[in-house]
Amino acid sequence: MERLHQYVNSKADEYIEWLIETCNQPSVSAQNRGMSEMKDLVKFFLRKINAEIEEIETDGYPIIYGEINSGKPKTLTFYNHYDVQPEDPLHEWTSDPFKTDIREGQIFARGVADNKGNLISRICAVHAYQQVYKELPVNLKFIFEGEEEVGSPHLKYFATNFPEKLQTDGIIWEGGARGAIDKRPHVSLGVKGICYVELICKGANYDLHSSEAAVIENPAWRLIWALNTIKNEQEEILIKGFYDDVTPLTQKDKQFIQTMDFNEQETKDMYGINSFVKNVSGYELKERLTAAPTCTICGIDSGYTAEGSKTVLPSIAMVKLDFRLVPNQTPERTVQLLRQHLDSNGFEDIEIKQSHGLTPFNTDTEHPFINVVLKSVDNVYKEPPVILRNLAGSSPMSKLLNETSIPAVQIGVANTHSNYHAPNENIFIDDYIQGIKVTANVINNLG
């Protein structure tokens, strides 16, 4: 691959130009700004590598599907998105978010990290491979959607209606980054799921004078009593059956968790805390972060909370809860168990409103595709990778892959200080060029 690496170095300026061109085109899905122009630009770049292109129409923005059939036994797929987040607050940007600026080895633009840098770097990798070796060792597929930043409402539609287009030996997913300080590449294998609910507890028809509390029940107390049955001070979630579906960790899972970097002192200093929950540290902390489901009170509201005092008996109390879910748990089952739990503890009157949910997705850590990617990372970076069994956060991976056993691995050109969704979004030029090489190595190693 030395020849290919040299070719990428020699083409660096041109490949950066391709990225600048895509970043200068706004494509804000939330505001329907520049989406059609961006779609055409993505197709323009896919034509540079002779991909056969199909536009999959949806009620929203189309999914651009590309294919290069080389007649080889293995197929590699790239999932990326061509939409970006809105750029405001504009005054916090040092340069124009849609006029790419390069300063001290960094490229600044809205979408450069999330996720145009990755999208274009995949195309550059294929381009470089074709120029240097003429023949591709694998078939390639590209699934580029335009709705990731608004929750990917049509990914499931794609998975259900085009199973043959989804068929592949492995997906390189968007995301992935490099440690901004230690420079170690991050390879991640999945995401946690999420189940977001509101619990609503109602009392009298309207707020009352608090003297009536002697005889009228207070929904705020009642909600607190219900919450007390959901989680204890040992951080255990007490909903019956909640942990039953959780898949136990394998040796390989634990080995990958071990590779994570987590600077405990720096985090404590930054957050101004003295300890982590249950005083965990070392391996145990990393395991909790990636493999433990959570139940979090995100907000709680009842009665009078403004300045001074108001002696009132509230008529309603509400709490917003999120559950981060791990492999084999689902948002639907979580809501069902929560309902049963509240009912069996005498809280039948408390209403559950589910606002959104995502199933977790994890690539089997034993899957051989992971080694193909890890070997490719080794071929390019000197530093050993951090292997994240899954991110502590959630993403729509499951919408595309849930009904399949397709392995998905995240590698990318951003870094942990890339300011995703925020002002001054950026990547390092060096990470972009290295990322092109890693993708080319994945093509080679899978072949």
Give me the residues that bind Zn ion (CB under 5 A), please.
Answer: 114
The residue among 34 and 293 lying less far from Zn ion, judged by its C-beta, is: 34
The residue among 101 and 114 lying less far from Zn ion, judged by its C-beta, is: 114
Collapsed DSSP state (helix, strand, coil) of residue 67 = strand
Collapsed DSSP state (helix, strand, coil) of residue 154 = coil
Q: What are phi and psi of 330, to 5 degrees?
A: -135, 155
The residue among 150 and 238 lying less far from Zn ion, judged by its C-beta, is: 150
The residue among 375 and 421 lying less far from Zn ion, judged by its C-beta, is: 421
125 Cβ partners below 8 Å, 6+ apart?
436, 437, 438, 439, 440, 443
Q: How far is the CB of 28 from Zn ion (least distance, A)?
A: 12
Q: How far is the CB of 147 from Zn ion (least distance, A)?
A: 11
Concatenating the DSSP letter of every residue in 247-278 gives PPPPHHHHHHHHT----HHHHHHHHT-S--GG
**Tokens of residue 152, six digits:** 């990917």
Q: How far is the CB of 149 from Zn ion (least distance, A)?
A: 5
The residue among 114 and 145 lying less far from Zn ion, judged by its C-beta, is: 114
Q: Which residue is nearest to Zn ion (CB)?
A: 114
Q: How far is the CB of 318 from Zn ion (least distance, A)?
A: 29
Q: How far is the CB of 375 from Zn ion (least distance, A)?
A: 28
Q: 415 and 178 in contact (C-beta within 8 Å)? A: yes
The residue among 347 and 432 lying less far from Zn ion, judged by its C-beta, is: 432
Q: 373 and 401 in contact (C-beta within 8 Å)? A: no
Q: How far is the CB of 29 from Zn ion (least distance, A)?
A: 10
* Alpha-carbon gap, residue 102 to 117, rounded angstroms: 14
CA atoms in the 13 A half-sphere facing the CB of 325: 25
142, β-bridge pairs: 66, 78
Q: How far is the CB of 157 from Zn ion (least distance, A)?
A: 20
Q: How far is the CB of 432 from Zn ion (least distance, A)?
A: 18
Q: How many residues does the chain have?
A: 447
Q: How far is the CB of 115 from Zn ion (least distance, A)?
A: 7
430 Cβ partners below 8 Å, 6+ apart?
105
The residue among 87 and 114 lying less far from Zn ion, judged by its C-beta, is: 114
* Alpha-carbon gap, residue 327 to 293, rounded angstroms: 9
* Alpha-carbon gap, residue 256 to 308, rounded angstroms: 53
The residue among 151 and 163 lying less far from Zn ion, judged by its C-beta, is: 151
The residue among 93 and 256 lying less far from Zn ion, judged by its C-beta, is: 93
Q: 97 and 134 in contact (C-beta within 8 Å)? A: no
Q: What are phi and psi of 114, to 5 degrees?
A: -130, 85
Furthest-apart CA atoms within the chain: distance in Å: 84
Collapsed DSSP state (helix, strand, coil) of residue 56 = strand
